Amino acid sequence: MNTTSTTQQLNQRLFSIDILRGFVMVIMILDHVRETFFLHYQMIVPIDIASTDTILIICRFLAHICAPTFIFLTGLSAYLYMQKVQSKKETSWFLFTRGLFLIFLELTFVNFAWTFEFPMEKLYLQVIWAIGFSMIFLSILIYLPKKILFIVAIIIVFGHNLLDSVHFEKDSIFYIPWAVLHERTWIEFSQDFKLRTSYPILPWIGVISLGFIAGEWFNKNVNFQTRKNYLIKTTLILLSSFIVIRFINVYGDTPYINYDSISNTILSFINVSKYPPSLLFILLTLGICTFLLMLFEKYQNLKSISWLKNFGAAPMFFYLLHLYFLKFLYLSAVAIYGLNQGQYFGLSQTWQMPLLSILFAFILYFPTKWYANLKQKRRDIKWLKYL
């Protein structure tokens, strides 16, 4: 009876994690629908609040939650994997090999899904790249004592904005490693081939490390109430830190602007920088992440949200599937209607964005559920766990 109870507790904990991951993946569709069918609505980075459509701003803000949640949960799941196999060495090897696999996917199938060019002249090093590299770094960092790892993570998260003014010339030997670590820029290898470091990885190493540390809250000997208290306290610390530092308005991000309109001022207040993720970006989004995780822990058995776990149980399968699905729809629309928005095919009304996202999530739910069930049933097929 005790064994059954423990198994049920483990499944419940994993359900809440999968539900949260699934939730942000549905939000991710919203942003990728924008990048597929609404590119004619140009969004300057950082966002110009005064001149940008409000629906676009809200959709973009919601999308901000995705990457930090993915990477935080990757660290958390790595801790649970270590508890399962009871071996740091095996966990380290899994993190290292899966990290390499994700980098391979980013450089091949993911980039091809965005550009549909072969050979590719431009490669964009985005979120899958960042997750992969973060996992490789975590494969080393897990050998540190937890207190030291926590200190390292805090120093990275709170201190990396001190490095914003550091830049290197393109002919410097430090240019490429610095571009990978902390500066969003182009790495040009020739006139015909270059890389875009869309997701500099240094801050994400701090985020995945914090996720690994938080994994201890999901140990089988930690009850729901204790875990809930940890998550509530963490949420309050993160969000209150965000508010205080943002009000001071001197560190952690580009200063917000006081507009004549209160709504624009509020939007400016939460308009934080993602490339690379600023201190304030991390505090705000991880605060939302831990709050949602607490909610999904409490309400994970509700049918209205429990279906999300099927997205979260097969994240890479869904990620690749939705990219190629969107590209297929886009190319089909171009073939039928042509380029109706300058160099793009696009839809004219921004309110269509959330409606399409809901429709596409519904369509993609069924193949993703099938694959999630296949992973669960066929644990003997080891490569399935990589998608």
pLDDT digits (tens, 9 = 90+) for 162-199: 999 999 999 999 999 999 999 999 999 988 899 999 99
Distance separating alpha carbons of residues 124 and 138, to the nearest angstrom: 23
What domain count does the chain have?
Answer: 1
Q: Is pLDDT of 6 > 50?
A: no
In this predicted structure, what is the pLDDT of residue 117? 87
* Residues 59, 14 contacting (CB under 8 angstroms): no
Residues with Cβ within 8 Å of residue 344, at least 6 apart in sequence: 39, 40
pLDDT-based confidence at 2, cuts 50/70/90? Answer: very low
What is the structure's pLDDT at 45?
66
- Of 32, 99, 82, nearest to 62 by C-alpha is 32
Q: What is the pTM of this model?
A: 0.93
- Find the domain containing 56 and state its range: 2-386
pLDDT band per the 50, 70, 90 thresholds, residue 301: confident
Confidence (pLDDT) at 107: 96
